[in-house]
Amino acid sequence: MNVRQKKPLILSIASGKGGVGKTITTVNMALAARRMGYKTLLLDGDFGLANVDIVLGLKARYTIQDVLDGEVEMEDTLLDGPLGLKIIPSGSGFARLADLKLTQRIRLLDKISEIAQEYDVLFIDTGAGISESVLHLNSVADAILLVTTPEPHAQTDAYAFVKVMCEKYGKRRISLIANQAVSDAQGHKVYQNLADVAKRFLDFDLGFAGVVPKDAVVQRSVMMQRVADDQVKHTLSGQAWNEITRKTIESLVSEPKDDSSRGLSDLLFPNFGALRAL
């Protein structure tokens, strides 16, 4: 299914801190996109602390670490996930991945760009926090989905992410996902609190992607490395992820792609043009 003339549509999933359900959100949204018929690629962009393959119960034969070592090509790392989802796994426990040199990042992004051209949608599970590499990776996305929870410190860190993204890259499309909410009202309150602060202090209109309820079934599936099980999509959380994905993609597809927008090749060059147009 062709999303737009210029592909792929890039969605990054971010969080101000770890432990708020960012990776689970990314995986479930990517699976939702597959159910919608989109050819979907998922990049585990949490370099050094990757876990997309783990939560899916998959074992990566090769990772980005092996590409850096010159042992394999990027195509060799592709994992076959559920529903035909394709995954580029990173590596976990490798300090080198968390602190890549400029030339190494250019090399990786060039190879990822080549692969991504064959897909309709690229999901990026970025690292948590506001490090330079995390911010740059989010900046190439057509839309950023910021995941937080009702916990006060999670909301504080989410606001910090919005603030730094605004200051470094201008006012970009960022929408909030209120995860692990005990009620729809609680999720909306989380969004409203952050939206009010962002508008007051940053003059930034934070978008609202939706509320994902706290769900015991999903929590058990994470522990059992079975987040892609069919039963998950029928839970309240699964239905919420499906709806968020549908609305996000349909909204972006209906808008013309700005040819001046950034892409993967711009990761390390926020003020330069793309090294290679996607």
When pLDDT is cut at 50, 70 and 90, the band that residue 145 belongs to is very high
Query: Mean pLDDT for the chain?
Result: 84
When pLDDT is cut at 50, 70 and 90, the band that residue 135 belongs to is confident
Per-residue pLDDT, averaged over 116-141, amounts to 89
Instruction: For residue range 190-221, list pLDDT tens digits in order.
Output: 999 999 999 999 999 999 999 999 987 666 66
18 inside domain: yes
C-beta neighbour count of 214 within 10 angstroms: 18
When pLDDT is cut at 50, 70 and 90, the band that residue 162 belongs to is very high
Q: What is the DSSP string of the chain?
A: ----SS--EEEEEEESSSSSSHHHHHHHHHHHHHHTT--EEEEEE-TBB--HHHHTT---SS-HHHHHTTSS-HHHH-EE-GGG-EEE---BS-HHHHT--HHHHHHHHHHHHHHHTT-SEEEEEEPSS--HHHHHHHHT-SEEEEEE-SSHHHHHHHHHHHHHHHHHH-S--EEEEEEEESSHHHHHHHHHHHHHHHHHHH----EEEEEEE--HHHHHHHHTT-TT-HHHHTSHHHHHHHHHHHHHHHHHHTSPPPTTS--GGGTT-TTS--SS--
For the record, the structure tokens of 77 come out as 């790392």
- Are the C-beta atoms of 226 and 57 separated by less than 8 Å? yes
pLDDT of residue 196: 98
20 inside domain: yes
Per-residue pLDDT, averaged over 248-272, amounts to 65
255 inside domain: yes
275 inside domain: no
66 or 186: which leads in pLDDT = 186
Per-residue pLDDT, averaged over 143-167, amounts to 96
The domain in which residue 124 lies consists of: 9-260
1 inside domain: no
pLDDT of residue 134: 84
Report how far apart, in Å, the C-alpha atoms of 233 and of each of 137, 221, 249 are.
28, 11, 18
C-beta neighbour count of 132 within 10 angstroms: 10
Q: What is the DSSP string of 119-151?
A: -SEEEEEEPSS--HHHHHHHHT-SEEEEEE-SS
pLDDT of residue 257: 59
pLDDT of residue 91: 65
- Most confident segment among 106-120, 163-177, 230-244, 262-276: 163-177
261 or 182: which leads in pLDDT = 182
268 inside domain: no
Cα–Cα distance for residue pair 174/142, rounded to 1 Å: 9
Report how far apart, in Å, the C-alpha atoms of 234 and of each of 131, 157, 218, 268 are.
36, 31, 10, 40
276 inside domain: no
- Are the C-beta atoms of 181 and 169 separated by less than 8 Å? no
pLDDT of residue 146: 98
The residue among 40, 36, 31, 37 whose CA lies nearest residue 10 is 40
Number of domains in the chain: 1
Q: What is the CATH number of the domain that holds 36?
A: 3.40.50.300
Of the chain, the percentage scoring pLDDT greater than 70 comes to: 77
Sheet of 79-80, strands arranged across: 79-80, 86-88, 40-45, 121-126, 9-15, 143-148, 174-181, 207-213
When pLDDT is cut at 50, 70 and 90, the band that residue 274 belongs to is very low
Predicted TM-score (pTM) of this structure: 0.88
Instruction: For residue range 18-74, list pLDDT tens digits in order.
Output: 999 999 999 999 999 999 999 999 999 887 676 888 888 888 888 888 888 889 998
- Are the C-beta atoms of 14 and 134 separated by less than 8 Å? yes
Q: Is the pLDDT of residue 271 over 50?
A: no
Per-residue pLDDT, averaged over 228-233, amounts to 65
Q: Is the pLDDT of residue 275 over 60?
A: no
